[in-house]
A and B are shown apart, each in its own frame.
Chain A
Amino acid sequence: MTIPLVPRIGGLVLATTFFYSYVGQMVPQNEVTPPQETVIRADLTTEDMVTVGREIMDGKGLCFTCHTIGRTGALRFPDLAGVAGRAAERVPGLNDVEYFAQTMYDPNAFIVPGFNPGMPVINRAPIGLTDQEILCVMAYLQSLGGTPTVTLQTAHRYYTPPAAPGAAPAPGAPPDQNAKPGEALPLTATPAQKAPAAPAPPAVPGNAPATGTVPR
């Protein structure tokens, strides 16, 4: 019996489509959910911040899309194992906290030799970590080959934390944040909470700002 032409062609189309669907089922199946908003409590200890920092790097920060820990050989971005030891010596005049801050707020200011520019500005969209979240990330990075010292009150040139209740306001800091121990800070800092804005990153290929008119 000869199968008519149209069912034969239909069978071929179905079989081909089914085959490619099958290939699609054979690869790892990951459903990627939007990053969860993390609430950073004002009374987090440095130890807590290390744990939270690791979670942020794994999730909302998307850090491990590019960076590795403990991998050698051909790498596209610097490996972070032992980064705490190197951070204080990378750029003359910057201690580890200031260096980590620069890598996240102004990543093109210094590029690790042997690598291309590629790090996005971390406190802006699409990643958009808050200043407190970035402090937690710093705490985790300090734990990679060093001793974490960062707290939620650590200041650096891109961020001045709000003053503690009853304390004299720091220069340039907002007058009162009403933050109490144990109370959650809002995740997204309002403009009033932000320190003087970091200088806008230069629009160079490799790290264009997420928005705005970009010269080509």
Chain B
Amino acid sequence: MNGAKNRKLLFVLGPVTGLAMFAGAVIIATFLTNREYREPYRAPVATADASPRVEGLVAEEADAEATARAKPYVEAEYRTFPVVGSRVAIWSVAQLHLLFAAFVLAVPLFAFIIEVIGYKTGDLRYDRLAHEFTKLLSVSFSLTATFGAFLTFMLIILYPKFTNYLMSVFSPTFLPYVLLFFFEAAFLYTYYYGWGKFHPLVHLGLGLGLNIVGTAIMLIANAWLTFMMSPNGVSDTGAVISTWDAVYNFTWMPINVHRIIANVAFGGSIAAAYAAFKFLQATTDEERAHYDWMGYIGNFIAIIAFLPLPFAGYYLASEIYAYSQTLGLTMMGGAFSWLFIIQAVLIGNLFLGANYYLWLGMGRVEGGQPIQKFIKYLLIAITLCFMVWATPRSIIATVSELRAMGGSAHPILGFFGVMSAKNTAVNILILTTFMSFLLYRRTGKVATVSWAKLGHTVQLGIFAAVAVFVIFLGVYGYFVEASVRIGLSVPQVGSVLFAMVSITFIDIFLFRGAKAGEVRWGRIPAISQYVLIFIAVTFTWLMGLMGYVRSGLRQHWHVYGVIRDTSADAFTPTLGFATQVVSVTVLMFFLLIGFVFWITSLHDRPEHVTAAKKVALPGADMVLEGAHLSRAEPRAAE
């Protein structure tokens, strides 16, 4: 009876509240209008006595009106955003949009793969994990769309002429973009809300559709931004010759490849940070075990995607050089060269963090101790590579120090500042991290195949041979001409990729049917979870920094070589300023992603139940909470 009364009360309360709010708005508006300053009443000019003052006022009004009417329409080229200026405003909004978009594109990609694994193996844990990743999508998708709309309006308001030009070049792409966006929303919400409601294959089909549509959206958006950097398909004056050539410009495909990989790495790291947050909040061993596993998978995805990323970076850089050596040299040898020292610090930290997490994780595997003795050698290799990579070619020094060095390059350390050394360092860094993964994979396992000894020897032989080959090419690069040296990075990268593929291939067969120690999920020091959060922040910051260099590379051009930036913001700011903007954007992103985590965690909260429900649900597991009751939600089957 009481329940029915409450429902009736709620039914009435909604409209009543709405009416009360409307009445309140009217009262406030009336109050404010009454308090508004009003001119004292003056008799109309025609009826007023003509006096010099009145005539003057009339003439003034007529002049003002005539001036206003005669004013020609002038199309605005730029408008100014208050306080921070137009560039910083666009920069922050675009970066936030890109960060959320990257997350929204990446999560379905690996959620889909995990769901496929769950379907193939029949292990429900994978299905639950994929669903948990997908939970993060719903709110993030809304935020992506909000920032996308915000960015579009900001471009139209602040850079109308340039935006108009881009629209004239890419107008055929806008309608497909909107349609795809609509399809993405349809796929995403059906995929999320339809979890467990369809046949698994139908659900997997929805996931596949979501990924295809999401990737297509990214490809279109990438065409717009890469055109700004390496325009193609337009005449010297900017007139469109071919829209397809404008889309398929020099940097379009490299950016597509680079972004897909980077998005997965970034998405994995953010999902791992979510798992870390939940792990630290967990109160039971069961929860800790689940979120430890989720964090491990998220980080695994992030690092596996991160390992080939430098190679995708090479591809992008080589296409930038192929398009314009000036652009390439501005990036690597000009205004932005020091940015890559900051990048080295970030990537070095990512490698250190990822390896540290793996080494901590070895402790949770039974029989993992013998492997841990190799860690110190890996740590030494990583630290040395990090130091070489972060060594600048020229060093900031006083005049006397420069004299003592005989130039801006240090007589010994200067050798580590050139590309020969850096290419070698990053390749060894990747190879070492790959070995960390391999060691983690075989922690607690004993190979039982008859050729186990031979397999280990071949693996070690490949690893040693590739390491020596990479170092040899690095040293050789100092003694050859530039045209030869540039080509040496290709065999370096190729040999590292060969090592990764061949060693993994052998490992799969080597440990088939191996004796394995038990993995005690959840038994990992809490600091490992803070490492996951650190990795996520570093990834985000790195994306912000690299977004800046990609866009800033054009310097005083909106569209490189075609549309010149003539605004007050045409200069390229200092790296210090750029890093401050990146930092503020990253903090804003983490505030918002914290909000996403909070909303998502509401899903797992105990249901809020009134006393009325207790009566309606006798026998339910109730806990008294003040005037209300809370019912523990049954946990999903493991």
- The answer to whether A and B come from one shared complex is yes
Binding site for B on A (CB under 8 A): 5-6, 9, 12-14, 16-18, 20-21, 23-25, 27-35, 62, 65-66, 74-77, 114-120, 124-127, 205-208, 210-214, 216
- Give the residues from 271 to 289 in chain B that come closer than 8 angstroms, CB to CB, to chain A: 277, 280-281
A66-B325, A126-B326 as given contacts; A27 in contact with B533, CB under 8 Å: no
28 cross-chain CB contacts under 8 A: A9-B277, A12-B534, A17-B541, A17-B586, A17-B587, A20-B541, A21-B580, A23-B579, A27-B392, A28-B338, A29-B575, A31-B573, A33-B570, A34-B556, A34-B565, A65-B333, A66-B333, A74-B478, A74-B485, A114-B482, A120-B326, A125-B236, A126-B324, A211-B232, A211-B238, A211-B561, A213-B233, A216-B250
Q: How far is the CB of B456 from chain A (nearest CB, A)?
A: 39
* B537 pairs with A17, CB closer than 8 A: yes
User: Nearest 4 CB-CB pairs, A to B?
Assistant: A24-B579, A210-B561, A118-B325, A34-B556
Within 8 Å by CB of A31, from B245, B250, B572, lies B572
Q: Complex: how many Å from CA A124 to CA B324? A: 12
A23 near B345: Cβ-Cβ < 8 Å:
yes
Give CA–CA (A116, B485) in the complex, Å. Answer: 11
Interface assignment of B560: CB less than 8 Å from any CB of chain A: yes
User: How many A-B pairs with Cβ below 8 Å?
Assistant: 175
Given contacts A34-B556, A66-B325, A116-B483, 18 further A-B contacts (CB under 8 A): A5-B277, A9-B280, A16-B534, A20-B342, A20-B541, A20-B579, A24-B582, A33-B571, A65-B330, A66-B329, A114-B482, A126-B324, A126-B557, A126-B561, A208-B322, A208-B323, A211-B231, A211-B562
Query: How near does chain B come to A126, taking the closest CB pair, in angstroms?
Result: 4
Q: Is B194 positioned at the interface, with any CB of A under 8 Å from its CB?
A: no
> Which A residues touch B334, using CB under 8 A?
62, 65
In the assembled complex, the CB of B627 is this many whole angstroms from the nearest CB of chain A, namely 26
**Once bound together, how far apart are the Cα atoms of A193 and B460, in whole Å?**
69
Q: How far does the alpha carbon of A35 sit from the alpha carbon of B572 in the complex, in Å?
A: 11
CB of B524 within 8 Å of the partner chain: no
Q: What 0/1 pattern do residues 345 to 388 of B give for CB contact below 8 A with A?
A: 11000000000000000000000000000000000000000000
Residues on A with C-beta less than 8 A from B485 are 74
List chain B residues, Cβ under 8 A from A214. 232, 245, 250
- Nearest CB of chain B from residue A173's CB, rounded to whole Å: 23
Query: Given that A65-B334, A127-B326 are known contacts, is A20 also in contact with B571, CB under 8 Å in the complex?
Result: no
Closest to B590 in A: A13
Q: How far, in whole Å, are A120 and B329 apart by their CA atoms in the complex? A: 11
Secondary structure type dominating chain B contacts: helix
B245 proximity list for chain A (CB < 8 A): 213-214
Which of B236, B280, B326, B562 interacts with A62 by CB under 8 Å?
B326
B424 to chain A, nearest CB (A): 15
A116 CA to B487 CA, complexed, in Å: 11
Taking CB as reference atom, which chain A residue is nearest B487? A116
B486 within 8 A of A: yes
Interface of A is mostly: loop
Given the known inter-chain contacts A23-B345, A24-B576, A208-B324, please indicate yes or no for A114 contacting B555, CB distance below 8 A.
no
Verify A208–B250 contact, CB threshold 8 A.
yes
**Residue from A21, A119, A206, A207 with most neighbouring chain B CB atoms (10 Å):** A21
CA distance A205 to B570 in the complex (A): 29
Please tell me the number of chain B residues within 8 Å of chain A, measured between CB atoms: 72
Tell me, in angstroms, the Cα distance from A124 to B561 when the chains sit together: 8
Partner pick for A120 among B248, B324, B573, B586, CB 8 A cutoff:
B324
Tell which of B242, B579, B580 has the most Cβ of chain A within 10 Å.
B579
Please list the residues of chain B having a beta carbon within 8 angstroms of any beta carbon in chain A. 231-236, 238, 241-242, 245, 248, 250, 277, 280-281, 321-327, 329-330, 333-335, 338-339, 341-342, 345-346, 392, 396, 418, 477-478, 481-483, 485-486, 530, 533-534, 537-538, 541, 555-557, 560-562, 565, 570-576, 578-580, 582-583, 586-587, 590, 594
Bound CA–CA A211/B334 (angstroms): 22
Are A25 and B579 CB-contacts (below 8 A) given A31-B573, A214-B250?
A: yes
- The complex places the Cα of A216 from the Cα of B561 at a distance, in Å, of 19
Residue of A nearest to B345 (CB): A23
Interface centre among A77, A114, A212, by most B CB within 10 Å?
A212
Collect the chain B residues with CB atoms within 8 Å of residue A65's CB: 326, 329-330, 333-334
Assembled-state Cα–Cα distance A205/B318 (Å): 10
A125 to B563, CA, bound (A): 10
Q: Nearest-CB distance from B244 to chain A (Å)?
A: 9
State the CA gap A192–B231 with chains docked (Å).
27
Q: A20-B342, A65-B326, A208-B323 are in contact. Are A25 and B560 (CB under 8 A)?
A: no
A34 and B555 within 8 A (CB):
yes
A27 touches B557 (CB 8 A): no
Q: Give the complex CA separation of A115 and B480 in angstroms.
A: 11
Residues of B within 8 A of A24 (CB): 342, 575-576, 578-580, 582
Contact A120 B236 (CB under 8 A): no
Min CB–CB distance B329 → chain A (angstroms): 5
- CB pair A5–B242 under 8 Å, yes or no, is no
Interface centre among B392, B485, B561, by most chain A C-beta atoms within 10 angstroms, is B561
With a CB–CB cut-off of 8 A, which chain B residues contact A16? 534, 537-538, 541
Say which residue of B322, B537, B570, B571 sits within 8 Å of A13 (CB atoms): B537
Contacting pair B570 A34 (CB below 8 A): yes
Once the chains bind, are A212 and B322 in contact (CB under 8 Å)?
Answer: no
Find the B residue at minimum CB distance from A107: B325
Are A74 and B418 within 8 A (Cβ)? yes
Q: Measured between alpha carbons, how far is A148 from B417 in the docked complex, in Å?
A: 37
Q: With A27-B341, A211-B231 known to touch, is A32 a contact of B335 (CB < 8 Å)?
A: yes
Contacts of A118 in B (CB 8 A): 321, 325, 329
- Asked if B587 and A14 make an inter-chain contact with CB atoms under 8 angstroms apart, the answer reads yes
**Which residues from chain A contact B335 at a C-beta distance below 8 Å?**
30, 32
Smallest CB gap from A214: residue in B: B232
Query: How far is B324's CA from A119's CA once the two chains are assembled, in angstroms?
Result: 9
User: Hey, which chain A residues are within 8 Å of B248, CB to CB?
Assistant: 216
Please state if B571 and A34 are interface contacts (CB–CB under 8 Å): yes
